[in-house]
Amino acid sequence: MSNNKISFIRPFGPSIAKIKIPEEIIFSLNNYVDEIIIDEKKLSTLDHGEKLAGNVKQEITVNEDLLKSSGLLEFLGKSVSQWIEASDKKKLTHFTVISSWIVRQFENEYNPIHQHSGHISGVGYLKLPTDYGKPFQSTKKNNLNGNLSFIHGSRMFNSSSYINVEPKIGDFYLFPNYLMHTVYPFYGNEERRSISFNATIDDEIYNVCGG
């Protein structure tokens, strides 16, 4: 798998990397979910919801076999290496996914402000509603329904404390595990489907204050 085009967002201290998920990986992951949700026993076995912060009904574990067979593990490893080398001018020698899961979010469900475990985290979009519903006040210029917001620090002169992301199918965002973020609810009958992961990297790269 060749290196993907990657861009960087640095609205405050930590950088955020944005990259495109290859279509064949999206197809493989969506097939996995569509097969799981018609098998109640398997769905119950792979339920990941109790381990996560989200107020959503279905969060499905992505196991190691799927990580490898879908090509997701290779994609994540190369993407994180590109990000760290461009952002921190350092080469990774260690990258281990410690957990990965798919979130099926529906009307009125949301993810409260939270952070992740590990060193590196990420989220990508597999399936999205055609309409997130309108805000209650029609005069609102920005409709945040179904959006993702990253939060860091406090609002000061010449410094924003958050950046808002409108999900697009295939977009994948990489960020440090400690970067706070939230997902807003939406209105409508369609599904918002995303995949997330947590991973560890070289301790000497992550622990900048160590030694």
Higher pLDDT, 164 or 47: 164
- 210 lies in some domain: no
- 132 lies in some domain: yes
- Do 43 and 104 form a contact (C-beta atoms < 8 A)? no
- Lowest-confidence pick of 97-111, 115-129, 151-165: 151-165
Specify the CATH number for the domain of residue 31: 2.60.120.620
- 21 lies in some domain: yes
Report how many domains make up the chain.
1
Name the β-bridge partners of 9.
16
- 89 lies in some domain: yes
Q: For 30-88, how does the pLDDT look when each residue is reduced to its tens digit (9 = 90+)? A: 999 998 888 776 767 667 556 555 678 788 899 999 999 999 999 999 999 999 999 88
Q: Which domain holds residue 171?
A: 6-204
Distance of CA 58 to the CA centre of its chain: 16
pLDDT confidence bin for 2, thresholds 50/70/90: low
- 211 lies in some domain: no
- 185 lies in some domain: yes
- 93 lies in some domain: yes
Q: For 77-104, how does the pLDDT look when each residue is reduced to its tens digit (9 = 90+)? A: 999 999 999 988 999 999 999 999 999 9
Query: Average model confidence (pLDDT) for the chain?
Result: 88
Question: Does the pLDDT value for residue 211 go beyond 60?
Answer: no
- 209 lies in some domain: no
- Do 104 and 57 form a contact (C-beta atoms < 8 A)? yes
Beta-strand runs (E) in the chain: 6-9, 16-20, 58-61, 95-105, 111-114, 120-127, 148-151, 162-165, 171-176, 180-183, 192-201
The confidence score (pLDDT) of residue 210 equals 58
